Amino acid sequence: MLKFIALFLISFSTFAAPHLLIEKHAVSGYVMPEDSFVKDCKIYREGYLETYIKKGDGTAVGATMQVNKVQITSIRTLLQVAKRGKIEEGGVLCDAGTVIVTGHIGARSVLLESSLDCAEQKLNKSYAAKALRSMTESLCGF
């Protein structure tokens, strides 16, 4: 019976869903329809990144790449610090687009940036959140 339980636990953890570390979502602001875009990027704890870009002209592109273990470890460490960061609310800006950057520690979400079109802007002011936003921009390409 113990062997069955051990095999079940091993198989469950092997086929479990990937663990999300950071996700970034960006939508263009007020532009011509053919110049509009939606960009999504996800970085996973297992060491890979998925990115998806859909343009207003109907073209879409997706890609997956490896992220090195040092960067994954840095992201995980910085998220632990960023979760205690102060969230600063800014003014309302319209027609500039939307950018949302969220970190994940297990089931807990950590807001790094939320710039919604025609809504109040929110920014995590910790140094760790700033480093994570910069790292995410570099890895995702936007």
Domain total in the chain = 1
Q: How confident is the model at residue 18 (pLDDT cuts 50, 70, 90)?
A: confident
Q: Is residue 57 part of a domain?
A: yes
Q: Is residue 4 part of a domain?
A: no
Q: Is residue 133 part of a domain?
A: yes
Q: Is residue 63 part of a domain?
A: yes
110 is in which domain, residue-wise?
18-140
Q: Is residue 59 part of a domain?
A: yes
What CATH number has the domain bearing residue 121? 3.30.1560
What is the Cα–Cα distance from 142 to 87, expressed in whole angstroms? 22
**pLDDT tens digits, one per residue of 59-109:** 999 999 999 999 999 999 999 999 999 999 998 989 999 999 999 998 999
Q: Is residue 30 part of a domain?
A: yes
Q: Is residue 24 part of a domain?
A: yes
pLDDT at 17: 59
Q: Is residue 84 part of a domain?
A: yes
